Amino acid sequence: MKKRKLGLALSLVLAAGTLLGACGSSDKEGKSGKEGKDQFTVAMVTDVGGVDDKSFNQSAWEGLQEFGKENGMEKGTNGYDYLQSSSDSDYSTNLNTLVRKKFDLVIGIGFLMADAVKEIAEQRKDSQFAIVDSVVDAPNVASINFKEQEGSFLVGVVAGLTTKTNKIGFLGGVQMPLIEKFESGFRAGVKSVNPDATVDVQYAGAFDKADVGQQIASKMFSSNVDVIFHASGATGNGAFKEAKDRKTKEPNKDFWIIGVDKDQADEGKVEVNGEQKSVTLTSMVKRVDVAVKDLATKTKAGNFPGGEVIEYGLDKDGVGIAPTQDNLSEDVLKAVKEWKDKIINGEVKVPATPDEFAKFDAGK
């Protein structure tokens, strides 16, 4: 009887050990499905624009998807994923959620998320974060920025060589250092190829006021401006509308808009006398997808650039002109290539501030 009881007790102990071992193994396997967590995982938090905003967030998500595909990863907690923010109050919550899910790298998309990234990074010092389009000074945060002035310089070259009136416009959202990089680079590009042209600089004071954007564009076009570069988010939608309305009424005149952040060729589509046209001359694109993919690749390889500020310019294919180039002549494209090479080779330093632009000399 005692032997039976002893045998029963040993059986229960062994069974418990087996269960505990299984639980321990499951915990060790974590998201990788292998013993130990050797499967790299990465996720991002969108700002309020959402993952399908046809701009910043969408580009970042496309970069993560490409990274995942190249590394045989699947969408979800075992690979790559995203959380969408409905309001700015979601930023911290979403970042924390991804940390709790044990993602190796968590990326906040857009400068609006800088405060939230800083807050959570301070609380989660063992986790790795990144912020796009801003700088967070912390050892566990990589800051991704772009040389917007370089891409803007190239579309300035396009504008300067395309204008027939020598009157060009720049429509900015909120006047701040980030948008002044667009302005300064653009004006430098225009000046380099057409010193006789003038650039009318106007700021709307907002990134989401299409009506204000349309009013500013209307005044510019009425003053004989024929090319407007907008760096104003949704405010620029109004500029596109104004250009399309005018093109419909006066099909033989030029009312060009240069888009921003992504290829905005579709935004300029308009039917003129039964024919499909586009008032989009070109666009200055920021390759957030390239930057996000690059960062994920470095981090996966064990080279997370925590505490560093990484800038993506023409040399890293981080900025440039849009692939849709139907409205650009061969001569303009040739000039763009020549100036791009000069910038990459260090022959031309593009100004990033109004003060730098005031001292800018294309010949140096």
175: closest CA among 204, 150, 198, 199?
Answer: 204
Residues in the chain: 364
Residue 25 forms part of a structural domain: no
Left (φ > 0), alpha (ψ -120 to 50) or beta: where does 205 sit?
A: left
Two structure tokens written together for 326: 């139907």
Query: Quick check: 79 and 65 in contact, CB under 8 A?
Result: no
Provide the number of structural domains found in the chain.
2
At 38, is the pLDDT very low, low, confident or very high (cuts 50, 70, 90)? Answer: low
Q: Looking at residue 51, what is its pLDDT?
A: 85
347: closest CA among 300, 301, 325, 315?
Answer: 315
Q: Calculate mean pLDDT across residues 323-331.
A: 96
Residue 127 forms part of a structural domain: yes
Are 310 and 255 in the same domain?
no
Are 127 and 78 in the same domain?
yes
Q: Looking at residue 25, what is its pLDDT?
A: 36
Q: Looking at residue 43, what is its pLDDT?
A: 98
Percent of the chain whose predicted confidence (pLDDT) is above 90: 79
Are 93 and 187 in the same domain?
no
pLDDT digits (tens, 9 = 90+) for 53-95: 767 788 899 999 999 999 999 999 999 999 999 888 999 999 9
Are 278 and 141 in the same domain?
no
Residue 21 forms part of a structural domain: no
Q: Calculate mean pLDDT across residues 277-284.
A: 97
Pairwise CA distance, residues 158 & 160, whole Å = 6
Two structure tokens written together for 79: 């690979």
Neighbour tally for 89: CB within 10 Å: 9
Q: Which amino acid is at 123?
A: Q
User: What angle, 0 to 180 degrees and rounded to 10, lies between the N-to-C axes of helices 148-162 and 330-344?
Assistant: 150
Are 247 and 349 in the same domain?
yes
Q: Looking at residue 249, what is its pLDDT?
A: 96
Pairwise CA distance, residues 341 & 33, whole Å = 47
- Report the relative pairing of strands 198-203 and 167-172 from DSSP bridges: parallel
What are the φ and ψ backbone dihedral angles of 257, each rounded to 5 degrees? -120, 135
Are 137 and 170 in the same domain?
no
Neighbour tally for 104: CB within 10 Å: 17
pLDDT digits (tens, 9 = 90+) for 110-160: 888 999 999 999 999 999 999 999 999 999 999 999 999 999 999 999 999
Q: Calculate mean pLDDT across residues 264-293.
A: 94
Are 225 and 293 in the same domain?
no
pLDDT exceeds cutoff 90 at 233:
no
Q: Looking at residue 19, what is its pLDDT?
A: 40
Q: Which amino acid is at 285?
A: V
**Tokens 């925590």 — which residue?**
306
- Report the relative pairing of strands 256-261 and 227-231 from DSSP bridges: parallel
At 225, is the pLDDT very low, low, confident or very high (cuts 50, 70, 90)? Answer: very high
Q: Calculate mean pLDDT across residues 26-37.
A: 38
Residue 125 forms part of a structural domain: yes
Average pLDDT, the chain: 89
Percent of the chain whose predicted confidence (pLDDT) is above 70: 89
pLDDT exceeds cutoff 50 at 297:
yes
| 87/169: higher pLDDT | 169
Are 211 and 82 in the same domain?
no
Rounded (to 5) percent helix, strand, coil in the chain:
45, 20, 35
At 2, is the pLDDT very low, low, confident or very high (cuts 50, 70, 90)? Answer: very low
* CATH number assigned to the domain comprising residue 240: 3.40.50.2300
The boundaries of the domain holding residue 351 are: 148-285+329-358
